[in-house]
Amino acid sequence: MTRIAAVHGALPPHRHTQREVTDMVARTCLPPGADRRVLDRLHRNARVRTRHTVLPLDAYAGLDGFGAANDVFIRSAVDLGGQALRGALRAAGLRPTDVDLLMFTSVTGIAAPSVDARLVNRLGLRSDVKRLPVFGLGCVAGAAGVARIHDHLLGHPDDVAVLLSVELCSLTFQRHDTNPANLVATALFGDGAAAVVALGGRRAVAGPEIVATRSRMYPETEHVMGWDIGSTGFGVVLDPGVPDVVRQYLADDVREFLDEHGLKPKDVARWVCHPGGPKVLETVTEVLDLPDGALDVTWRSLADVGNLSSASVLHVLRDTLEHRRPEPGTPGLLLAMGPGFCCELVLLRW
C-alpha cells in the first residue's frame, strides 16, 4: 500500500488580522464613501482570524490587471512551492533526486513552463522526473492529488511521488467588484502551499497508509463553483447553494464508501476535512452526524490561515499528524469538495 511519508506546509511572509484584510478590501473593492456594513458582516462571519498574503496589503491596489497579478503568481509560486517541496523531502529523509513523479496543482494562476518545470533545475530534481501539472480542480485538488499519486504508486510500487499545491488566492481578488461572491471570497481565502511525499508499497516507511479512494461528480452542479475568467483575471463563481449540494449528496457517498470497507462514520478516528467555510463545515458535521470536536483541526486551520483552496486540506493533514495523531491502525478519512461540483474521498489507515 501507498504510505504518506511527510507533509509540509509553507506560508508567505505577510500575515494580517482579518480586520486588516477587511479594511484593504473596503479600499480596493468598494466605491469611496460606500456603506461597508455588508462587507464587515461577511468578513466577521467567516470565522477567520488571520491570513497570509504574498504581497503587502497596500500593494494589491497597484496590480494593473491580470497580467501583473499572474507575473506575481509565477514568481511567488516558484519560491513558496520550492520551500514546501524542500521541507517535505527533508522531513521524509529524501533528496530531490529521489522523486520519480511530481504532480503540481493550482487554480490561482497559470504558467508555461509550469511551476513544477521551473522547480526541476532550481531544486535539483532528476531530468527524467515525471511531471503532471493540473489546473481546474480548485479546492478538491488537495484530496484528489493525494488520490492520483496513490494511483501512480499502485502501478509503480518502488517510486517516490510528490504532490505540490500552491494557491495564491489573494491575487484573484477583483478590485472594484462588489458582487457578493467576490466579497465572500475576500473574507475566506488566503495564500499558502503544501507538499505531500508518498512512497510505493515496496519502500519501507512509517506513515499513514492510503487504503482506497473515491471520486464523485454531482449532476447539473457546474454552476455552483469555479471561475469566470475575463480581462481582469479570475472572477470567483460561488453559489450560496453549495451547502445544499453538500447536504444532498455527501452523507450517502461517505457512508457507501466506508461500508465497502466494513466501516461506519463512527469508526473514523480522524476526519481530515477541507475548510470550505463555516456553512459548509456546519453542513458536513450535520449530515455525517459527527461528534463534537471531530472537525476541530479543520476549524482551527480556517481561523489561523483561512481557506487555502487545494493546499488547505493538506495543512489540515499535516496538523492532524503533528497534533492529533490517532492510534496506529485506526481509520481516517480525508475529504474535500470543489468545482464540478465534486467530492474526493481518501480512506487512510493511521
190/294 Cα distance (integer angstroms): 23
Q: Average pLDDT of the chain?
A: 95
Predicted TM-score (pTM) of the model is 0.95
The active-site residue out of 29, 139, 273, 342 is: 139
**Residues contacting residue 295 through CB under 8 Å, at least 6 positions apart:** 271, 273, 281, 284, 285
CB of 344 within 8 A of CB of 215? Answer: yes
Q: What is the mean pLDDT of residues 327-340?
A: 95
Whether 135 shows a pLDDT value over 90: the answer reads yes
Tens of pLDDT, residue by residue over 198-240, are 999 888 788 999 999 999 999 999 898 899 888 888 989 888 8
64 to 3, 79, 156, 173: CA distances (angstroms) = 44, 22, 45, 12
Whether 99 shows a pLDDT value over 80: the answer reads yes
User: Which of 110-114, 195-199, 224-228, 340-344 shows the lowest mean pLDDT across its residues?
Assistant: 224-228
3-class SS of residue 9: strand
Type and span of the H or E element at 116: helix 115-123
pLDDT at 20: 97
SS in 3 state form for 128-153? Answer: CCEEEEECCCHHHHHHHHHHHHHHHH
Tens of pLDDT, residue by residue over 26-80, are 998 888 888 899 999 999 999 999 999 999 999 998 888 899 999 999 999 999 9
Whether 179 shows a pLDDT value over 90: the answer reads no
Q: What is the mean pLDDT of residues 123-146?
A: 97
Whether 178 shows a pLDDT value over 80: the answer reads yes
Tens of pLDDT, residue by residue over 250-273, are 999 999 999 999 999 999 999 999
139 assigned to active site: yes
Greater pLDDT, 228 or 131: 131
3-class SS of residue 348: strand
